[in-house]
Amino acid sequence: MMCLETPLSGSRATIRGRNIKLVVVVVTLSGHKDYTSEDRMVALRKRAEVDSKNLIIFVPDDELELRQSLNRLWTAVADLANVYYRDEGRKIKVRLEKRSFSSMELNVRYCFKVAVYAEFRRDWLEALKLYEDAYHALREMVGMSTKTPPIQRIVEIKTIAEQLHFKLSTLLLHSGKVVEAITWFRQHTANYRSLMGSPEVIFLHWEWLSRQYLVFAQLLETSSADVQHVPSMVSVAAEKPTEWEFHSAYYYQLAASYLKEKNVSLEFALSMSEDVGPIDGSAESVVASAYLGQFARLFEHGDTCIMQSLTDDEYVRYALAEGKRFQDSFEIIALLKRSCEAYSNLKAERTAAYCGLQMAKEYFAVSDFGNAKQTFDNVASLYRREGWLLSLWEVLGYLRECSRGISSAKDFIEYSLEMAALPVTSDAFEPSSKDCGPAGPATLSQRGKIHEEAFEVARGESELNLKEQNTELKVNSDYPLYLEIDLVSPLRVVLLALVAFHQPVVKPGAPSLITISLRSQLPTNVEIDQLEVQFNQSECNFIIGNGKKPHIAAISNIQPGRRVETAPSLVLATNKWLRLTYEINSDHSGKLECIYVIARIGPHFTICCRAESPASMNDLPLWKFENLVETIPTKDPGLAFSGQKAIQVEEPDPQVDLILGSSGPALVGESFILPVTISSKGHAVYSGELKINLVDTRGGGLLSPREEEPFSADNLHVELVDISCHVPEDQSEAPSDKIQKIQPSFGLISVPSLDVGESWSGQLKIKWNRPKPIMLYVSLGYYHQSGEPSLQKVHVHKSLQIEGKTAVTISHRYLLPFRQDPLLLSKIKSVSDPDQMPSLALNDLTMLIVSAKNCSEVPLRLLSVSIEREEDNDACAILPQHEEFRESVVHVPGEEFKKVFTVIPKLNCTRLKIGTVCLRWQRDSRVEEQFDFCDSAYQVTKHRLPDVNIELPPLVVSLECPPHATLGNPFRYSVKIHNQTEFLQEIKFSVADSQSFVLSGPHNDTIFVLPRSTHVLSFMLVPLGLGSLQLPRVTVTSVRYSAGLHTSPASSIVFVYPSKPHFEASDMKETRTNSVVAE
C-alpha cells in the first residue's frame, strides 16, 4: 500500500484542476485475495480520492472473475467517457446558443464537434440535428467573400459538405429511415449540382459529384436496414423516391456517368492548358493541409518544414497534373460492372444491358478488345431478342472492330454479314456516325459497303487490317474461313437452308424427290460457287455445281464416286428463294435425314448451314415485322407447310416365312413346346438372328409381386427355358459366330445360312409356374446377300398370344363314418367361422375325400395320387398313403375325380399336420395333335391339407339298422350311446313319429350311461310304404355338456321292398373300392 502512495500523489497533482477522472485497477491473483481485503480497498480509495466504482480489482487467472472484471472496467470507463463528452458538449453548445463566435467557420466547426460528442454518447437524435445545423450553416457560406481564393474556397466547402452528408446519411440509414436518407441525398446533390466553380477545374465538380453517388451506394449496400420495408412512422417527402432509388445499382450507374463527364472535362481542360503552357513539376510539392479541403505547398529549410498557401492558378495546375496522372477508365469499368451485376440480380435485363454497353465502350476505349468483345456479345444477344435494330447495329460495329483487335477474321466476317443482313432498308434517316458507333450510320448504302468489304476479305480479294500488330490478314489456304449456321444462330438471316422431301415414306432403292430452298437477306446478290448436301447416310450425299463457273469444280476436292449435279445458276437474290429439286435413292431402311447444306464461295470460304424443315421453320425475328413480300420456299404450297427434311425408308419386303406352330393350350407346371419354322421363299438367309421376347399382356411383368423374396425361378410366372434347333447335315459343324443367349423373358439364337427353298426349324420351351397370359414376339433378322455388311438387315416379325392355365384344381373335405356321430366339444364352444380349423375325433376313422377337377381344355391321364407326410411320425394313420393306378385314368375336361382316404388320428393335439396331396398326371398321349406341343414327362400338382385339431369326443352316437327292409316285416332299429369319459353321463333322448313306420319303444326318456360303457336304445319298426323312406328321427342330448346330437337325413334312410329280395352271387372283376369317378 505504501508503494502506491507516491504514484497516486503524483497523478492527483497532475490532474488537479483539469476535467480528468482517475480509475485505479488493482491486479491480483485468485490465490492472494488477502491483499485485496475490504479494509485495504477502502484505505486505497481514500488515498487515491476515487469513487468505489472507479476502483476495480482485476483477476486474470480466473476466467469467471476475469470476465466480470472486464465488464466492470468497461462500464466504469464508458460512464466516465459519457460524462466527459456530455460536459464538453454542453460547453460548446453554450457558445452556440450565445453565438459567441467570430466567423461562420467556427459555427460549422462547433456544430460538427458537438455532433461527434453526441455520437460518442449514442445520442443519435442530437447528433443528427447538429450535423444538419452544420450543413445548413455551411450552405450559407457559399455566397460569402473570404480571404481564401475562390476556386479553393468552393473545393473546401464541397469537401466539408461531403463529410457532413456522409454523417447524416449514415445515421439515417442505420436507423432504418431509408426514405429520409434518399430524400436528403437528393436534396444534397441538388444543392451543389450547380456549384461547378471555375471552368478550368470543372472536372473536379464532376469527380466530386461521382464520389457522392459512389459513397451513398456503398452506404445503401452496407446498411443494416431493409430497403424494401420503410417504417410507416417515417415522414415522406412530397416527391416520393422512385423504385430505382432504393437500389445501389442506380447510384453506381450515375457515379460512373459523372466520372465519364469528369474525363471529358479533364481532356478539354488539358488541351486548353497545353495551349497556355506546359505544366511544371512544382505540383509535386503540393500536399493536403491540416484543415479539411485545403491544400498547401511544402517547403523544407534544413530540418524545418514550412507550409505555404496556394494561389488559384497554382491549385489549377496541381489539379490538372493530378488528373493527368491518374486514369479513371478502370474505375468507371468497375462501377459499371457493379451496377450491371446489381441490375442483373434484380432481373432488370435491359438496364443491365445498358450498363454493360457503357462498360464495353470503356474496355474498347482502353484497347482491351477481349473483354470488350465478351461484353458486347452479351449485350448483342439481348438486343437481338428485343429487336432493337439501331442499338444492335451500333454494338455489331464495335464487335467488328474488336475482331480486328483480337486478329479474328472469322468473327469479323460473321459480324459484318449479320450487320449487312439487318432489316435497314432506307437511307431517309442518317444519324451521325458518332451516335451509331464505328460502323457508321445504319443505312442501306452502308449495309452494301459492309457486305462488299466482308466478301472481298472472305474470297481473299483483299486483306483484313489488324489493330494490335498493325499488320494485315488474308484468307488463303493457310487461313481458310469456315462459318457454321445452326438453328439459333443470328446468321440465319445470311443464309437459310430448307430441305423438303416430296414423299414421307419410300421403298428401298426407289427414287424420291427432294427440294433444297435457299434464301438470304443480304443487300446485294450472292453467287455460290458450289453446294454440298449431306445426309445421315453418307452414300446419299451429292454436290451441286454452278453451271456459270465450271472451272470452280476443282476446288471441291470431290471424292471418287461422289454424285455431282449442275445447276444453271447459284445466285441468291435478296429475300428470294433459290429452289433446287433432285432425286435421292437410298438402299438402307430407316430414317434418311438431310443434316447440312454447305455453300462454298471462293476457294477458301465455306458456310455450313444446318438444314431445316419447312413445316417447322422458325421466323427470322428481326425481319418478322418488316414490310416485305412473303414467298413460300417450295412451288407446292402443301409441301411448304408440311414438308420435312427427313424421310422414312421402309425395310425391304421379306421373302422368308416365319411360322409359329399352332398355339394349343399351355398348362401350369409343364414345359410347353412351340415349333418355329423359317422357310426361304425368295431370299437366301445369311447371318440370321432369331429374337424371342415374352411380354405380359396386362403390363404387370412376368415376376411375382412378392418383392421381398430373392430372385429365383420360382418368382417367375413364365420363363423361357430352352431353345433347341435342327442343324442341317451340311452344317453339322457350328459356325464360329453362333450366338445363343437365353434369359427368363428373352432369347437370342443364330440361324444357319439358308439358300432359297431351304428351311430351318427349332423349338421354344416355355414353362408356366403360375397361370398368366403372355404375348410371344418372335423376330427374324437376316441379310439376303453374303459378304456385304453395308446392306440393311431384313426383319420378319410374328407374335402369338398364349394363355397359361391351371390344369388341375384339388379340393378336399372330411366325412364321418356312416351313421356315426361323435360329440366334439370344440365345435360346440367356438363360434362358427369359415376359417376355423377342422376337428377330428381321436382314434376314430374319418373319411378324407380328395377331389381333382380338370380345368383345362385337353384330356389328362392321371397316373397316381398320394399324401406326402410333412412329419414322419405315428400321430396319424392314413390309408392308402400312395396309390399307383394300374391303368391311368383318363380325365376329360370339366370332369371331377375323387379319391377316398381313411384318416385315424392317434395323438391328442391341437394342431396336427396331415400332409400334402400329390397328383401325378400328364396329357393324354392318344390326342396326337396336342402331344407335339408339350413335354411328355409327367407333372405333379400339389395341394397342402390344412392342419386339424384332434380331440377325444366324450360321447359317440351310432345308429344300427338293416340295409333294407320288407313291407310289413318288422326290423330292429338301435341307437348306441358310448360314454368315453370317467363320469356318469345323463342323456335325454327323443324319437319323432314317422308316417312311414309303426314304432315300438319309448319316444322320450332320460337315461344314465356309466363311465366307459355303452348304452343301447332298441326300437322295432314296421314299414308301411315302399321305396326310400325316412326313419324316425332320434335326438340325443347330453345334460352335462348341454349339447345335442341329431342324426343326419342321409343316414336315416332305408329302402323298403314289397317282398323279400333274392340276390344271386356272381363273379365280380376286381375293382377299386375307394376310387370313384363322378360326373
pLDDT range class, residue 266, cuts 50, 70, 90:
confident
Q: Give the C-alpha separation, 804 to 928, whole Å.
A: 20
**E strands within 784-830?**
794-805, 808-815, 820-822
Per-residue pLDDT averaged across 479-504, rounded? 93
Residue 196 has pLDDT above 90, yes or no: no
Closest Cα partner for 899 from 838, 943, 836? 943
**Which residue type, as a one-letter code, is found at position 336?**
L
Q: Give the C-alpha separation, 364 to 555, whole Å.
A: 39
Percentage of the chain surpassing pLDDT 90?
29
pLDDT range class, residue 644, cuts 50, 70, 90:
very high
Tell me the CATH class for 351-471: mainly alpha
The lowest-confidence range among 30-34, 322-326, 334-338, 890-894 is: 30-34
**Residue range 549-604, pLDDT digits in tens:** 776 544 555 667 788 999 999 999 999 999 999 999 988 888 999 999 999 998 89
* CATH code assigned to 955-1057: 2.60.40.10
For 518-557, the DSSP string reads EEB--SS-EE-SEEEEEESSGGG-EEEEETT-GGGGGGG-
Residue 248 has pLDDT above 60, yes or no: yes
Ranked by mean pLDDT, the top range of 40-49, 531-540, 924-933 is 531-540
pLDDT of residue 534: 94
Q: Give the C-alpha separation, 391 to 356, whole Å.
A: 13
Per-residue pLDDT averaged across 291-316, rounded? 72
Q: Give the C-alpha separation, 527 to 569, whole Å.
A: 8
Secondary structure in 3-state letters for 356-379 = HHHHHHHHHHCCCHHHHHHHHHHH
Taken in order 870, 873, 879, 883, is the CA torsion positive or negative?
Answer: positive
Q: Give the C-alpha separation, 672 to 766, whole Å.
A: 5
Asked if residue 257 lies in contact with residue 359, where contact means CB atoms within 8 angstroms, the answer is no
Per-residue pLDDT averaged across 415-432, rounded? 76
pLDDT range class, residue 852, cuts 50, 70, 90:
very high
The lowest-confidence range among 57-61, 332-336, 417-421 is: 57-61
pLDDT of residue 735: 45
pLDDT of residue 461: 84
Half-sphere exposure of 594 (CA within 13 A, CB side): 28
pLDDT of residue 914: 87
pLDDT of residue 741: 74
The lowest-confidence range among 687-696, 834-843, 1028-1037 is: 834-843
Q: Give the C-alpha separation, 795 to 779, whole Å.
A: 7
Closest Cα partner for 412 from 341, 462, 351? 462
pLDDT of residue 402: 92
Parse the chain into domains and list their residue ranges: 2-84, 147-325, 351-471, 481-649, 656-804, 808-951, 955-1057
pLDDT of residue 525: 94
pLDDT of residue 166: 92
pLDDT range class, residue 1, cuts 50, 70, 90:
very low
Residue 1076 has pLDDT above 50, yes or no: no
Per-residue pLDDT averaged across 380-385, rounded? 93
pLDDT of residue 745: 82
pLDDT of residue 289: 65
pLDDT range class, residue 829, cuts 50, 70, 90:
low
Taking all residues of the chain, what is their mean pLDDT, rounded to a whole number? 82
Q: Which residues pair with 865 in a beta bridge?
A: 883, 919
Burial 224-246 (b: 16+ CB within 10 A, else e): ebebeebeeeeeeeeeebeeebe
Asked if residue 954 lies in contact with residue 985, where contact means CB atoms within 8 angstroms, the answer is yes
Asked if residue 919 lies in contact with residue 941, where contact means CB atoms within 8 angstroms, the answer is yes
**Residue that the C-alpha cell 468497375 belongs to:** 334
CATH superfamily ID and name for 481-649: Immunoglobulins (2.60.40.10)
Per-residue pLDDT averaged across 421-426, rounded? 80
pLDDT range class, residue 176, cuts 50, 70, 90:
confident
Q: 643: which residues sit within 8 A by CB, 6+ positions away?
A: 498, 500, 501, 502, 515, 613, 614, 615, 634
**Which residue type, as a one-letter code, is found at position 368?**
D
Q: Give the C-alpha separation, 701 to 695, whole Å.
A: 7
**Residue range 627-639, pLDDT digits in tens:** 777 788 888 888 8
The lowest-confidence range among 123-127, 280-284, 385-389 is: 280-284
**Residue that the C-alpha cell 481542360 belongs to:** 269
Per-residue pLDDT averaged across 534-545, rounded? 92
Q: Give the C-alpha separation, 826 to 841, whole Å.
A: 11
Percentage of the chain surpassing pLDDT 70?
83
C-alpha cell at 18: 483539469
pLDDT of residue 733: 45
If one counts every other C-beta atom within 10 angstroms of the C-beta of residue 695, the result is: 16
- Angstrom CA distances, 730 to 77, 657, 761, stand at 113, 22, 15
Closest Cα partner for 822 from 954, 911, 985? 954
Q: Give the C-alpha separation, 743 to 731, whole Å.
A: 26
- Angstrom CA distances, 470 to 464, 607, 832, stand at 10, 28, 109
Q: Which residues pair with 519 in a beta bridge?
A: 496
Per-residue pLDDT averaged across 776-786, rounded? 86
Asked if residue 644 lies in contact with residue 594, where contact means CB atoms within 8 angstroms, the answer is no
C-alpha cell at 1000: 315300438
Taken in order 369, 371, 374, 377, is the CA torsion positive or negative?
Answer: negative
C-alpha cell at 191: 444543392
Ranked by mean pLDDT, the top range of 341-350, 677-686, 788-797 is 341-350
**Residue that the C-alpha cell 446519411 belongs to:** 169
Question: What is the four-CA torsion angle of 712, 718, 721, 722, rounded to 10 degrees?
Answer: -150
Choices 3.40.605.10, 2.60.40.1530, 3.40.50.20, 3.40.50.880: CATH for 656-804: 2.60.40.1530
Closest Cα partner for 529 from 512, 508, 516, 543? 543
**Residue range 274-285, pLDDT digits in tens:** 544 444 545 557
pLDDT of residue 810: 92
**Residue range 882-893, pLDDT digits in tens:** 888 888 888 888
Of residues 615 and 430, more confidently modeled = 615
Asked if residue 840 lies in contact with residue 903, where contact means CB atoms within 8 angstroms, the answer is yes
CATH superfamily ID and name for 808-951: Immunoglobulins (2.60.40.10)
Per-residue pLDDT averaged across 334-346, rounded? 92
**Same fold across 808-951 and 955-1057:** yes
**Which residue type, as a one-letter code, is found at position 508?**
P
Asked if residue 491 lies in contact with residue 485, where contact means CB atoms within 8 angstroms, the answer is yes
pLDDT of residue 547: 87
pLDDT of residue 833: 63
pLDDT of residue 9: 63
Asked if residue 749 lies in contact with residue 739, where contact means CB atoms within 8 angstroms, the answer is yes
Per-residue pLDDT averaged across 172-182, rounded? 89
pLDDT range class, residue 34, cuts 50, 70, 90:
low
pLDDT range class, residue 10, cuts 50, 70, 90:
low
